[in-house]
Structure 1
Amino acid sequence: MTLVKDVASFRQILGHYPTGVCAITGMQADGTPAAMIVGSFTSVSLDPPLVAFFPDKGSSSWPKIEACDGFCVNVLADSQEPLCRTLASKDPNKFEGVPHHHSERGAPIIDGALAWIDCSFYAKHEAGDHYIVIGEVHSLDIHHPGTPLLFHKGAYGKVAPLL
């Protein structure tokens, strides 16, 4: 058994659990799209329909999303790793050239994403060095068929069917 001695061992051990990769997008008041990448996304409730993600309190992208009138979760396809790296960057123009259209509520839906979930903010809670952000789902759809982009043991990957 390993005791939690440091952040590095904690991350290494939890890295054995694969996560899906999502882009959280929003439209800022000045009409500029904002985006951040998360590997921590989950469904929360069916009635009402709620989802959650967990942004780092130190994220420079989170305040931009938080200031938006809601957000859209874009489930990235395994072919979108380069886009994921771009949206995860600190480039202030990282959304420039990203093909997208808008949900009825105005949030960017990334072209080529597998699915999208358009939400309003429902609640935010502190949780250590992260927040738990809960969104109420207003609309959602499968956007593009394919398989999801995964993150596992510090690297991007994809689903491989068992033989």
Structure 2
Amino acid sequence: MAVADFKAALARFCSGVTVITAIADGEPVGFSCQSFSSLSLDPPYVCFCPARTSSSWPRIRDAGTLCVNILAEDQEELCMRFATRGADKFAGIDWEPGVNGAPRLEGGIAALECSVEREVDGGDHTIVIAQVTSLALQREVAPLLFFRSSFATLEVPQPVRQVSISPADWF
């Protein structure tokens, strides 16, 4: 299997976009991350996968607590800023410390404050499992998505009714 074919196949999977943040050595640090997922409801776990080459992840890991900022459709520029290396990513960015002290970025659709539970080897990435300790629902707008190597948005219809489906009913 060619790497290019593998990447092309995965590009057909739509994902949301997040910015993972923390306070490390007294200053804010963060990186953009599209490899994010819910993992467990009980206990409330999420997972994400930073690249082994990330210079931000080791600092966030050492902090022990973090915030997963789920980005809104109008936050492409913010995502690109946090995807760069070496720049002052927080310059001119509005944020406030969450309950755990990690930066909660303004304008997102949700913020999940977490404690790092463990890491698992994931090849050229590491798989991080984090327990959600607090959360904030911020705005009712469409999410920022990544699909076929580009940003995308989704028209979000107003819910007519809430439907709860158990995973046992999925198949």
Q: Same fold (TM over 0.5)?
A: yes
Give the C-alpha shift of residue 161 in structure 1: 5.6
Match of 1:92 in 2: 87
Structure 1 stretches of 4+ with a deviation exceeding 2 A read none
The CA RMSD over aligned residues, in Å, is: 1.3
Give the number of equivalent residue pairs: 157
Q: Which amino acid aligns with 2:5?
A: S
| Residue aligned with 1:35, SS | strand
Match of 1:13 in 2: 9
| Residue aligned with 2:75, SS | helix
Which residue of the other structure, out of 55, 60, 64, is the alignment partner of 1:69? 64
Alignment check: 8 A CA contact 1:77 1:113 kept: yes
Task: Provide the rounded CA distance (Å) in 1 between the counterparts of 2:91 and 2:63.
Answer: 18
Q: What are the Cα deviations for residues 5-49 of structure 1, in whole angstroms up to 9, with x where unaligned?
A: 2x22211111001110000000112x2101111111111111111
TM-score (structure 2 length as normaliser): 0.87
Query: CA distance change for structure 1 residues 60 and 146 in 2, over 3 Å: closer, same or farther?
Result: same
Residue correspondence of structure 1 range 12-161 to structure 2 within 5 A = 12-29=8-25, 31-160=26-155
Alignment check: 8 A CA contact 2:19 2:68 kept: yes
Q: Show structure 1 runs of 5+ residues with no match.
A: none
Task: Provide the rounded CA distance (Å) in 1 between the counterparts of 2:75 and 2:101.
Answer: 22
Alignment check: 8 A CA contact 1:100 1:108 kept: yes
Q: Show structure 2 runs of 5+ residues with no match.
A: 158-171
